[in-house]
């Protein structure tokens, strides 16, 4: 056998062995894949069974929850039924006790009847005692009727008192509203008066300043005086006395105050206006009801003017200085610039309880210039019974913007409601 044949034979044997081993390997792989597929199929079946089991368990859990809720409801119903049963038992015991009491009363009455039958000779005495007892009971009933009538009369009197108090409260509210409107009106009038006074004061100051600076100053014209009059000092003194009298009565009477303003305006107009060459004045002063000064150019009065070199003109400057001082004093005078009133139905409802008290903040509608004076008092007070009553109302922590309103009482005091009226001025 040659070498090539041997090699060919070996290769043939190797190929046959490789094919056999490959066939065995492929068959093993196919078996493994088949086993894996069977395992996955079994696993899928198990997962499906587990899902069905979970759904079944969920339904069972919902059923258990519903059953537990029903059990709780049944427990609450059972507790309510047990409470009702206990109440029924109490009622039964009470009824049994009443029944026993009635039986005892019936037995007592039976014994009394038997005793009365045994003691027939004393039957008239029993009737007398019975009549006395009935008459005594009738007396008690009449006394109760009288007391009931007294209570009804007291209730009627209380109703009338409450109605009268309500009417008084309404009237007080109306009065407070009227006072508030009057205060507003007076406030506006005082503002207008103050403005007029300030304007007149400024005009008077400018007049005095111009008088001191003018070298060729002419004395004012005094109506009704002759050109040859040398008594200028007397006229000026008379004018100064008139102005002083008007200033003295200005605070008490508004008409006199208006006269003062008119006189100041007249002095200013006499100083500033030029004199007609014919010696006739061309102004007239009138004061309207509101206190405003009006000038008219219609009055014609014949009187000559004083000469330029008229002596004693320095005294007229003194008159203007005195008027300026008085106007400054009027400017610095004390006066009430603002007032406010209020009625509070206090929110502290006691409802008949003791230790009544509380506090509330009151805020002014307008800020005062200084700390105002505040007063407060009760206008409504409802209390119960005949116990001692002690109530204190006070205004504390007063500022320009508001204050604290406090109310408190004794420990024995029983109140139902209270109302407070307050007033602040500054």
- The per-residue pLDDT for range 391-404, each reduced to its tens digit, is 888 888 999 999 98
What is the residue-averaged pLDDT of the chain? 68
Alpha helices in 214-281 (DSSP H): 232-248, 254-272
Same domain, 283 and 297: yes
Same domain, 326 and 356: no
Same domain, 399 and 322: no
Q: Is residue 276 part of a domain?
A: yes
Q: Is residue 18 part of a domain?
A: no
> Binning pLDDT at 50, 70 and 90, where does residue 97 land?
confident
Q: Is residue 11 part of a domain?
A: no
SS (H, E, C) the chain: CCHHHHHHHHHHHHHHHHHHHHHHHHHHHHHHHHHHHHHHHHHHHHHHHHHHHHHHHHHHHHHHHHHHHHHHHHHHHHHHHHHHHHHHHHHHHHHHHHHHHHHHHHHHHHHHHHHHHHCHHHHHHHHHHHHHHHHHHHHHHHHHHHHHHHHHHHHHHHHHHHHHHHHHHHHHHHHHHHHHHHHHHHHHHHHHHHHHHHHHHHHHHHHHHHHHHCCCCCCCCCCCCCCCCCCHHHHHHHHHHHHHHHHHCCCCCHHHHHHHHHHHHHHHHHHHCCCCCCCEECCEEEECCCCCEEEECCCCEECCCCCCCCCCHHHHHHHHHHHHHHHHHHHCCCCCCCEEEEEEECCCCCCCCCCCEEEEEEECCCCCCCCCEEEEEEEEEEECCCCCCCEEEEEECCCCCEEEEEEEECCCCCEEEEEEEEEEEC
- State residue 121's pLDDT score: 52
Tell me how many domains the chain contains: 3
Same domain, 321 and 348: no
Same domain, 312 and 208: yes
Same domain, 91 and 70: yes
Q: Is residue 94 part of a domain?
A: yes
Same domain, 255 and 313: yes
Last residue in a domain, options 113, 135, 151: 113
Same domain, 327 and 397: no
Same domain, 351 and 245: no
Of the chain, the percentage scoring pLDDT greater than 90 comes to 2
Per-residue pLDDT reduced to its tens digit, 375-388: 888 888 777 666 77
Q: Is residue 139 part of a domain?
A: no
Same domain, 247 and 293: yes
Q: Mean pLDDT, to the nearest integer, of 169-185?
A: 78
Q: Is residue 15 part of a domain?
A: no
pLDDT at 340 over 70: yes
Give the lowest-confidence range in 85-89, 173-177, 274-278: 274-278
Same domain, 353 and 237: no
Q: Is residue 182 part of a domain?
A: no
Q: Which domain holds residue 312?
A: 189-331
Q: Is residue 255 part of a domain?
A: yes
- State residue 274's pLDDT score: 45
Last residue in a domain, options 331, 366, 395: 331
Last residue in a domain, options 63, 79, 113: 113
* CATH at residue 421: 2.60.40.2080
Give the lowest-confidence range in 90-99, 137-146, 389-398, 416-425: 90-99
pLDDT at 362 over 80: yes
Same domain, 203 and 324: yes
């Amino acid at each position: 056998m040659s070498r090539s044949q041997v090699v060919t034979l070996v290769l043939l044997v190797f190929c046959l062995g490789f094919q056999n081993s490959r066939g065995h390997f492929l068959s093993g792989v196919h078996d493994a894949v088949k086993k894996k597929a069977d395992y996955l199929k079994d696993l899928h079946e198990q997962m499906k069974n587990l899902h069905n089991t979970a759904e079944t368990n969920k339904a069972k859990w919902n059923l258990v929850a519903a059953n537990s809720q029903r059990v709780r409801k049944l427990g609450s119903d059972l507790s309510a039924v047990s409470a009702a049963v206990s109440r029924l038992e109490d009622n039964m015991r009470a009824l049994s006790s009443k029944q026993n009491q009635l039986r005892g009363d019936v037995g007592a009455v039976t014994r009394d009847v038997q005793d009365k039958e045994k003691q027939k000779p004393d039957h008239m005495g029993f009737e007398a005692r019975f009549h006395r007892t009935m008459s005594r009971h009738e007396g008690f009933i009449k006394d109760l009727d009288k007391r009931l009538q007294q209570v009804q009369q007291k209730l009627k009197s209380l109703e009338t008192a409450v109605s009268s108090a309500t009417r008084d409260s309404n009237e007080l509210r109306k009065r407070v509203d009227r006072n508030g409107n009057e205060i507003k009106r007076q406030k506006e009038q005082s503002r207008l008066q103050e403005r007029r006074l300030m304007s007149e004061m400024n005009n008077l100051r400018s007049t005095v300043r111009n008088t001191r600076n003018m070298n060729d100053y002419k004395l004012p014209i005094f109506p009704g005086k002759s050109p040859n009059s040398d008594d200028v000092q007397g006229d000026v003194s008379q004018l100064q006395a008139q102005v002083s009298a008007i200033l003295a009565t200005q605070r008490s009477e508004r008409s006199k105050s208006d006269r003062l303003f008119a006189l100041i305006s007249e002095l200013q107009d006499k100083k500033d206006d030029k004199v007609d060459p014919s010696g006739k004045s061309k102004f007239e002063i009138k004061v309207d009801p509101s206190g405003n000064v009006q000038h008219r150019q219609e009055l014609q009065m014949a009187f000559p003017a004083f000469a330029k070199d008229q002596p004693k003109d320095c005294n007229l400057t003194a008159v203007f200085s005195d008027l300026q001082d008085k106007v400054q004093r009027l400017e610095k005078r004390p006066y009430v610039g603002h007032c406010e009133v209020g009625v509070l139905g206090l929110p502290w409802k006691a409802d008949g309880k003791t230790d009544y008290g509380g506090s509330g903040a009151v805020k002014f509608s307008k800020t005062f210039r200084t700390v105002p004076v505040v007063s407060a008092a009760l206008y409504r007070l409802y209390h119960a019974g005949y116990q001692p009553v002690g109530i204190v109302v006070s205004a504390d922590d007063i500022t320009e913007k508001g204050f604290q309103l406090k109310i408190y009482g004794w420990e024995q005091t029983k109140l139902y409601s209270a109302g407070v009226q307050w007033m602040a001025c500054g």
